[in-house]
Amino acid sequence: MSVGALTKKILHAALFYEIWDAMKVTFKHMFHRPITFQYPREQRTIPDGHRGALGLLRYADGRDRCVGCDLCEAACPSRCIKVISQEDPERPLQRFASEFYIDITKCVFCGYCVEACPVNALAMTKMYEFSTHDKRTLLFDKKRLYEVGARHLDDAKKYLYTHNQEKNSDESREYRYYFPQSVLKPTQSQPKHLS
């Protein structure tokens, strides 16, 4: 080893050259604006396609959208959805979900249930805060799912529009899922495209 290289090595060791080199990076970042969110006080802007809590939706006239077809239950990879359906006594040939349960602790928020729903009764919302002391409160029943859907209706609609599940126009409402009619009496008006 040459004298110059040895002197340079001793000088670097005596002056703690590696520490000063690292401190340059620290000082360079010290005067930048912080990018950390102060979480409870500051809320992050969440995109419309975010997969948060599931919510059940109703039609504009207040009727339940869910027809109890159990397709969401069949599409769920984690088997966290349970639907119990019955035939509607007031409208023959039509079914409805008498009970609807989702276990959020098992849900992987994949969105398959929303894609499988033929009437867009399910939608994802931007609700993501589920902290609780009791795990049993994370078993959402039909009533709670409708509350989540009503409270986050705009977010749920934006999710459906973002994923091309539903269009925000009168023409798309015209081609909504059409239920078979009862032989005795019609239960709903016939859409324009079937007239």
Which residues contribute to the annotated binding site for [4Fe-4S] cluster?
Answer: 66, 69, 72, 76, 107, 110, 113, 117
Q: 110: which 2 tokens?
A: 């994949």
| Phi and psi at residue 75, to the nearest 5° | -80, -15
Distance from first CA to last CA of the chain, Å, rounded?
Answer: 96
Q: How many angstroms from the chain centroid is the CA of residue 156?
A: 8
Choose among 88, 122, 87: nearest CA to 107.
Answer: 122
- Sequence-distant (6+) residues with CB within 8 A of 18 are 12
The DSSP letter of residue 90 is: S
Q: What Rg do the C-alpha atoms of the chain give, in angstroms?
A: 28
- The kind and range of the H/E element at 96 are strand 95-103
Going by the annotation, the residues of the binding site are 66, 69, 72, 76, 107, 110, 113, 117
- Residue 66 in tokens: 């869910």
In the block, tokens 């590696």 appear at: 18
